[in-house]
Amino acid sequence: MRIGVVRGHVVLSIALPELRGTRFLIVEPVTAENLAKNDGSGGGKALIVADQLGPGIGQLIAFTEGSEAANPYWPNLAPVDAYCALIINDVDYRPPVPQGE
């Protein structure tokens, strides 16, 4: 699971029946360095994430990738590679202190 910032959404004109009710978000993954800054910057390469929770633009989410991303659609099969698993309200991240300091 990774953390990302919602930057926008994608509108489909045609979708498979299995994806009915699913929104698609443009999500920028957050690097550990930017998570420590807590300034809303991402830093990763943006990707498309399937969503059924409804986060807004600028909100932090956690998303799963790979075969786990299709689990919410079970027993149906859905062509999904990334899925919004939760909306993050608050982050308390403290980077690890390097050894010897």
Over residues 57-90, the pLDDT tens digits come to: 999 999 999 988 988 888 888 889 999 999 999 8
Q: Would you place residue 101 in the very low, low, confident or very high pLDDT band (cuts 50, 70, 90)?
A: low
Write down the pLDDT at residue 99: 80
pLDDT at 100 over 80: no
Joined tokens for residue 34: 């930017």
Whole-model pTM?
A: 0.85
Over residues 50-64, the pLDDT tens digits come to: 999 999 999 999 999
| SS3 (DSSP) at 89 | coil
- Contacts for 86 with CB less than 8 Å, ≥ 6 apart: 53, 61, 62
